[in-house]
Amino acid sequence: MQIAIVETSRGGGAVPEFDPIRSNRSMSSRARTTPSPIRGPDLAAGAPRAVPVGDDGAMNPGSQESFPTDLDTRLLAAAIAIAGRARERGNHPFGALLTGPDGAVLLEAENTVVTGRDATGHAETNLVRAATAAYDAEFLRGCTVYTSCEPCVMCAGAIYWANIGRVVYALGEDQLLGLTGANRENPTMALTCRAVFAAGQRRIAVVGPVELAEAWAVHGGFWRGTTA
């Protein structure tokens, strides 16, 4: 079974450019098949925008953690590239990565539901398994998960139990449901990660959805009934 998790580094420093797999292959060389583009609502010139929401999932323009930083946007783009790699390998187009308290990329993971024959092989769950094996809970409290799509109920629970302190995502779960519909391969649940976290005993900061054109494009033509 192919393992789709890569540990990058524990070291500090900002991430000027992200190389998802630390190889000599460029991002473009991995894009052997180009998904049909899907345009999300109200996307202008690829500019990232976040919907202001509170920790309880309600619309709240004054809430903290509502808008992404430039680094957040770059790392989301990297997570989406990982999602594209998952698609190339025959899996669902989802990807995630973990950064340390200093913003350095530590781990990445992609969806392995199909090739791993594991219904729990979501990108975030694969990432959490690797993270909890490599780092202690105190360290993970200062870490951030970046994911191409909002964590589902299962993945949000895994993030909570791992003690990871922050989540940044591109597509929202409701937006994903609009793409997949009643697809039997991805019976998306209408429950936000904020609602899951709010039921816990510790706060997890959430930023998202962040509207990026590539977050929609990676799903282009993948789900039955999806139109370009």
Which residues have a catalytic role annotated?
124
Distance CA 97, CA 28 (A): 19
Q: Are 30 and 85 in contact (CB under 8 A)?
A: yes
Report phi then psi at 154, rounded to 5: -60, -45
Number of C-beta neighbours around residue 29 at 10 A: 9
Beta bridge partners of 149: 171
> What is the chain's percent helix, strand, coil content, to nearest 5?
30, 15, 55
Nearest one of 56, 70, 76 to 196, comparing CA atoms: 56
Q: What's the first-to-final CA gap in the chain, in angstroms? A: 32
